[in-house]
A = this chain, B = another copy of it.
C-alpha cells in the first residue's frame, strides 16, 4: 500500500469504542493551515446529519480539519443527530484549537441509532496526540466498516516544474449496504488552488471515477468526497495550463481509489470493466454500460464464470438506447463471442470461460451505432453478498 504522506497534512486513527468489536473507529485529518476545500455529497433525499452539516460549512471555502467515525452513520437520527454532528466537530475544533466552522465531519455505519458522541469527545485528546504525517494508514483503517483492507493511494505530479503530491484515502463496501455502507473519500494535496477551481476539478474527476463504478445501484445516505488543497508545495493550480496538468493526477488517484472500492466490494471476486463502443453519444454508451454493469443476471453470471452472452445483450437491450441487435459484437477479454448479434459458437465460449476465471478483465460491447464510448467498473454478485446482507443485523 502506498502511504506517501502529503506535505502539510497530519492524520491519525484510534479505537474510540463506537464499533462493538473494538477496532479503530475514529479518524482525524489536520491541515497545517486553512485549506481551500471542495466537496461532493450523496444525492439521496435522506441525508445523514454529517452531510447536512458539511453542506453548510463547505460554503465557507476553507477547511482545517476533518473528523470521521465509523460504526454509526448518524443518519435518520433527527435533530439530535444534527446536534451530535455539531458536537463532534466542536470537540475536534477545541482540541485542535482551530475555528469550529473550518471542521468538517463524516460518519459511516449503522443507520437510525444515536451517535455515541461522548465517546468521540473523550477520545479526541488521545487522537490529536497521535496526529502525524505518516498517520494516514491508521486513519484509513479507522474509517473502514466491512472493507477488507484500508485503501490509500498517492501520486506526484509537476506544475510548471514544481513537484506536488496528491494523496487520498477511501472506504466503501462497494456493494453498498446502508447499515454499514457509504463511500467516504478524503483527498489531500499540497497545491495552491481556490475552492471554486477545486470544486470544478473534483466534479470532473468524480464523473470519471466514482460515478463510473457500480456495485448494486444503491446510494448511501452518507456518501462524501472531500478535496483539501493545503498549498505547502507552492505549486499553484490557477491558469488553464496548471489545471490541465493537475486534472489527470486527480483523475488517476480517484479512479484508482474507485476501482479499489469495487475490488474490495463485499463478496466480490472480480473487477470487470464494461466497455461500450460505437454508441451515438457518450451518454448513450454510459447508459448501456451502466445497465449491463448493474444487471443482477450479468453479475451472477460473472460470479458463476459463465460466458452467458445472452444476458449481456438482454441487459443492453433494456437500457433505453436504440441500436440494432443484429449488428452488435461482444468481446470477453480479447475473445469475440458474438458477431453481428449471433453467437460465435462453443469454441469461442470455452475460450471466453477461461478469461472469466481471471480476477480482472474487460467486457467489450460494440454497438456500431456511432463514434462514442464509455466504460463502467463492476464486480460479480456472489452468494456471500446475499449472506452478508441478509444476516447483517441478526
Contacts and interface: CB of A to CB of B under 8 A. Distances in A.
Interface string A206-230: 0000000000111111000000000
A45 B321 contact: yes
A96 interface: no
Nearest to A46: B317
Contacts of A316: 45-46
A355 interface: no
A41 interface: no
Interface in A186-244: 216-221
Contacts of A47: 317, 325
A21 to B, nearest CB: 19
Contact residue range for chain A? 35 or more
Nearest to A78: B342
Contact of A393 (B110, B308, B317): B308
Interface in A378-393: 381-383, 385-387, 389-393
A216 B318 contact: no
Contacts of A177: 297, 311
Contact of A219 (B314, B340, B383): B314
A363 interface: no
Contacts of A389: 296-297, 300-301, 304
Contact of A76 (B46, B113, B341, B391): B341
A293 interface: no
B310 A45 contact: no
A27 interface: no
Contact of A323 (B45, B321, B392): B45
A311 B44 CA distance: 12
Nearest to A311: B178
A90 B220 CA distance: 54
Contact of A392 (B111, B178, B304, B343): B304
Contacts of A322: 45
B218 A306 contact: no
B45 A317 contact: yes
User: Which 5 residue pairs of A and B lie closest in terms of their CB atoms, listed nearest first?
Assistant: A111-B310, A304-B390, A46-B317, A300-B389, A45-B317
